[in-house]
Amino acid sequence: MIKESRHSLIIDMLMKQGSIQVSDLVEKLNVSSVTIRKDLTELEKLGKLYRSHGKAILINPYINNRSVSDKEKIAPEAKRAIGQQGARLIDRDDSIIIASGSTVHALARAIQPIHRLTVVSASLVVSEILALNENIDVIQLGGMLRHSSLSVVGQYSEKVLSKFSFSKLYLGVDGIDFEYGITTTDLREAELNRKMMAASQKIIVLADSSKFGRRGFAKIGDMEEVDIIITDPGISAKNVKAVEELGIDLIIAR
């Protein structure tokens, strides 16, 4: 089999499966492991796949830190629908905490309570949006400002959380990896998010479908700690099945 044909078959298999082991490629294509590794190296240089621990995957799972203004431009319609769906879950007399990220900004814009609502926020943008609604009591966490996300992090914020108990946490994440867990790109943000989870009765993750199969630098928590994931229709059938098998309530915002 010529190289071009192998490359085409490798990409085709990745499109269907998401990832594939080098050993499986050796068997399926009937070539040596050295040949497969050379093929994968070439395809990786072309940006067609990502090599990781003896296997190839369709995309680079590691996420670079980007500013929240850049993230706002990614999948805005999906994020708007996710935010609207998240807002529908708010009940009377809820006390909620909202983390940071462009998807929770969409949530904040969608919140229109017909009753008094108390919100604690790590995000300056979220607090500014919610401050326009007189039915919402906003508590802005203090601490060190993280410039890329326009949110606060640090021990001051973490200590304040020990004095609160929340019915719901709305959490934006940079990656959802079914083996590794939910992640972000900042270690300080991950630590604050863990404190938020410990203070909350229900953990709701807001994530567009591009976040699945991705992994940020800092782990927030295990998948088993998540109660609800709200995403868009772009989620694959494979990922839908994986979420359901974990017993997590999956809501697809249309």
Sign of torsion, CA 206 209 214 217?
negative
pLDDT-based confidence at residue 64 (cuts at 50, 70, 90): low
**What are the tokens at 4?**
């071009």
> Do 174 and 220 meet the contact criterion of CB atoms below 8 Å apart?
no
> Do 132 and 157 meet the contact criterion of CB atoms below 8 Å apart?
no
If you average pLDDT over residues 201-224, what whole number do you get? 94
pLDDT of residue 148: 85
- Mark out the alpha helices in the chain (DSSP H runs): 3-17, 22-29, 33-45, 68-72, 76-88, 102-110, 124-130, 155-161, 187-198, 237-245
Phi, psi of 176 (to 5 degrees): -125, 110
d(CA 240, CA 244) in angstroms, rounded, equals 6
Domains of the chain: 3-57 (1.10.10.10), 68-252 (3.40.50.1360)
pTM exceeds 0.85? no
pLDDT of residue 66: 63
Percentage, residues of the chain above pLDDT 70: 95
> Do 230 and 249 meet the contact criterion of CB atoms below 8 Å apart?
no
pLDDT at 133 over 90: yes
pLDDT of residue 16: 76
pLDDT at 65 over 70: no
Higher pLDDT, 221 or 46: 221
> Do 60 and 50 meet the contact criterion of CB atoms below 8 Å apart?
yes
pLDDT-based confidence at residue 188 (cuts at 50, 70, 90): very high
pLDDT of residue 12: 86
Eight-state DSSP code of residue 191: H
pLDDT of residue 62: 62
pLDDT of residue 152: 95
pLDDT at 145 over 70: yes
